[in-house]
Amino acid sequence: MSITLTQPLDMHLHLRDNEMLQTVAPLSADSFAGAIIMPNLVPPVTTQEALIAYKERIQEAIGETTFTPYMTLFFKPTYTKAFLASLGSDLAAIKLYPAGITTNSEGGLSGFDVEELRPTLTAMSELGIPLCIHGETNGFVMDREAEFVSIYEMLATNFPELTIIMEHITTKASVEALERFPNLYATITLHHLLITLDDVAGGMLQPHLFCKPIAKRPEDREALRKVALSGHPKVMFGSDSAPHPQHAKESCGCAAGVFTAPIALQVLTELFVEHSTVENLQAFVSGNAQTIYKHLTVPQKSITLEQKPFVVPEIYGSVVPMYAGKTLAYSIV
Amino acid sequence: MSITLTQPLDMHLHLRDNEMLQTVAPLSADSFAGAIIMPNLVPPVTTQEALIAYKERIQEAIGETTFTPYMTLFFKPTYTKAFLASLGSDLAAIKLYPAGITTNSEGGLSGFDVEELRPTLTAMSELGIPLCIHGETNGFVMDREAEFVSIYEMLATNFPELTIIMEHITTKASVEALERFPNLYATITLHHLLITLDDVAGGMLQPHLFCKPIAKRPEDREALRKVALSGHPKVMFGSDSAPHPQHAKESCGCAAGVFTAPIALQVLTELFVEHSTVENLQAFVSGNAQTIYKHLTVPQKSITLEQKPFVVPEIYGSVVPMYAGKTLAYSIV
């Protein structure tokens, strides 16, 4: 059996910069027609110049492969409507990080004051620019996302015309929030469909499965699988593929992030086939995203997968992927 | 201010063997008058010969320092009363591991059938030999200990004369079980009084704080602190100090265990002083244990601590201790 996916999209991707960008961007371009590119560089992407320059560096790293990087700004409450409007189709979304919540998020938001946020969020609503949020409080690690749901609700209520995307959701609480507000959407990663905290810290400690938000409980994974596998129209695939060099993962104080870009479509295909829901995969990896984002221009690119063993490389450049050395059931052909 | 502790005891200690034993045994002997020595060597300690030989290797490693290793057997349901009686005061307790639950526990128990356990547990009841249990199921990592409480209750009910010690408890559920059964007791480690899962995986991943049972939620730590700091007569200090060489901790698939033996009394003193409960420290580190174990002969040895900075070494032999490189407020003088 072969499965062809039309215009597959990764709606949450870290490409980093410099040498790492050169390593990882072509791998995403091999699998996807485009991706929403996270802006948490050092310094974060907050100006037109930085955004355009980063887009050009990505395009250069990809070379001739057909792949559209959909660029994002790092949220600041001082963005004006005129500034955002001037970016036109160069801007796909804005990513909001609470301060210090994950890698390179030090310049993020330290509070959620509606009136402080109103000008920028109103402008985004009017311009149809989605707001992508890393939704975690600084509370206890297993509660951070569930605690953030009240902030999602506050934003969804106060800005009913704003498209709000709960990024890389990991909990039943977030899945339930999806149903309560028409303008709340979500991305779900590959790894959160596969693992729980047991895989990270239940046996030996597994740094390559350590990420933020951390993998949660079995019932949380079940809730995520339910909406992803059913092709629920409010959820999209976003890998949150986050490369770190091997030494930063396999050391004392290991960095957060799972590198899944080169295996994502293969493993998703296996997962959806296994659950007899492969007819929903197209919606999860492309259709829903195009409906939710409205203004994406997606290249006509198809990816075909076949049931043919794929041995995952032990390392790509300096980055160890998820399932390194394992044999997957599906290959991109 | 100086604080003198009489006959301090570590009621749960891993000394390992060979070179590691040579490194760590003297460090425990510097702080304690004696310790309950875990039997999970490879192979586990299950015979009189192995037990005596291990005791002698420990005594040799310690040299002239006054320190009594209280020896334990690795639980097997085939131990007879005659065999256990023949060990006399060479046997302080028996340690029960569910199979595969932690380091070197592969030969542990795979089920809890009362009738299978009855002969050995009845013999232990009659001989006054405490049963020490690593109480975790093979369930989800955050639930394993709470799920095991029903097994503690089953054992406590069926063997009311048996002294049952819930080792290294980490949850509010275990603390509550203590109150329900007169023959249930517990040890509590230093690290579980200090950390939660946040410290292990809330920021960067911290392999040196990864242990089994894994550190739990803030409300669990609160419950542990409450009984420890109050000198609750059913709880005893047991460090579960578990040395692994640095390379086994700082690598992909890191081993479980926190090495606290050389810092335990210093940090406990600071913790109890900070909470204005220093008058309960003697009971927690010695008095309760002597009451619960009944038959321990403890050497007349006192340890005095002073409020004087102690810089924790970065490494002892090949083992990185908890708080490596940090400055503690109290020193042993």
Predicted complex ipTM exceeds 0.85:
yes
Inter-chain CB pairs, A–B, below 8 Å: 69
C-beta separation of A98 from A110 below 8 A? yes
Residue B158 CA to residue B121 CA, distance in Å, equals 10
Residue of A nearest to B320 (CA): A252
Q: What average pLDDT does range A225-241 have in this prediction? A: 98
Q: Which of B205, B209, B222, B319 to mutate to test the interface with A (most CBs of A within 10 A)?
A: B205
Structure tokens that stand for B229 in this block: 């700091």
Name every chain B residue with its beta carbon within 8 A of the beta carbon of A315. Answer: none
Of the candidates A247, A244, A259, the residue with the CA atom closest to the CA atom of residue A103: A244
B76-91 residue pLDDT tens: 999 999 999 999 999 9
pLDDT given for residue A254 in this prediction: 83
**What tens digit of pLDDT does each residue of B253-270 get?**
788 999 999 999 999 999
Among B10, B198, B220, B240, the one annotated catalytic: B240
Collect all residues from A whose CB is shorter than 8 A from any CB in B: 140-142, 196-198, 200-202, 204-208, 210, 214, 217-218, 249-256
Identify the residue among A214, A252, A259 best suited for mutation to test binding to B, counting B beta carbons within 10 A and taking the highest: A252
The average pLDDT across A215-241 equals: 98
| Shortest alpha-carbon distance between residue B84 and chain A (Å) | 33
CA closest to A196 among chain B residues: B140
- Taking each continuous run of H as one helix and of E as one strand, the counts in chain A are 13, 11
Kindly report the pTM of this predicted structure: 0.94
| Predicted local distance difference test score (pLDDT) of residue B102 | 84
What pLDDT does residue B138 have? 93
Taking each helix axis from N to C end, the angle separating A144-158 and A172-180, rounded to the nearest 10 degrees, works out to 10
The strand order across the sheet containing A68-74 reads A9-13, A34-37, A68-74, A93-96, A131-133, A164-166, A184-188, A235-237
Q: Is the dihedral of CA A332, A198, A218, B106 positive or negative?
A: positive
pLDDT digits (tens, 9 = 90+) for A189-222: 999 999 999 999 999 999 999 999 999 999 999 9
Considering only alpha carbons, which residue of chain B is nearest residue A197?
B141
Residue of A nearest to B144 (CA): A202
Nearest CA in chain B to A204: B253
Residue of A205, A219, A247 to mutate, testing the B interface (most B Cβ within 10 Å of its Cβ) = A205
For residues A154-172, b (16+ Cβ closer than 10 Å) or e, as one string?
ebbeebeebbbbbbbbbbb
Question: Which residues of B fall within a CB distance of 8 Å from A256?
Answer: 204-205
* Cα dihedral A194, A196, A201, A203 in deg (nearest 10): -70
Does the distance separating the beta carbons of B197 and A253 come in below 8 Å? no
Four-residue CA torsion sign, A100, B327, B15, B109: negative
Chain-chain contact of A206 with B141 (C-beta, under 8 angstroms) = no
Residues whose CB is less than 8 angstroms from the CB of residue B158 and which lie 6 or more positions away in sequence, other chains included: B114, B118, B121
Position B227 pLDDT exceeds 90: yes
Report pLDDT for B57: 98
Q: Please tell me which of the candidates A197, A208, A252 has its beta carbon nearest to residue B252.
A: A208
Q: How far is B157 from chain A (nearest CA, A)?
A: 30
Q: How confident is the model at residue A1 (pLDDT cuts 50, 70, 90)?
A: confident
Active-site residue flag, A240 = yes
Q: What is the pLDDT of residues A9-57, one digit of tens each?
A: 999 999 999 999 999 999 999 999 999 999 999 999 999 999 999 999 9
Look-up of token digits 């060979």: B18
Q: Which residues of B touch A (CB under 8 A)?
A: 140-142, 196-198, 200-202, 204-208, 210, 214, 217-218, 249-256
């054992």: which residue's tokens? B155
Do B208 and A252 make contact, defined as CB atoms within 8 angstroms?
Answer: yes
Q: What confidence category does residue B249 fall into, taking pLDDT thresholds of 50, 70 and 90?
A: confident
Answer whether A217 sits within 8 Å of B251, measured CB to CB.
no
Nearest CA-CA distance, residue A136 and chain B, Å: 11
Q: Give the pLDDT score at B86.
A: 98
Q: Is the pLDDT of residue A107 over 90?
A: no
For residue B98, the 8-state DSSP code is B
Alpha-carbon gap: A161 to the closest alpha carbon of chain B (Å) = 34
pLDDT category of residue B251 using cuts at 50, 70 and 90: confident
| pLDDT tens digits, A115-156 | 999 999 999 999 999 999 999 999 999 999 999 999 999 999
Alpha carbon distance B87, B97 (integer Å): 21
> Is residue B20 predicted with pLDDT exceeding 90?
yes
Instruction: Look at residue A251 in the predicted model and tell me its pLDDT.
Output: 73
**Cβ separation of A142 and B142 shorter than 8 Å?**
yes
pLDDT value for A231: 98
Model pLDDT, residue B300:
96
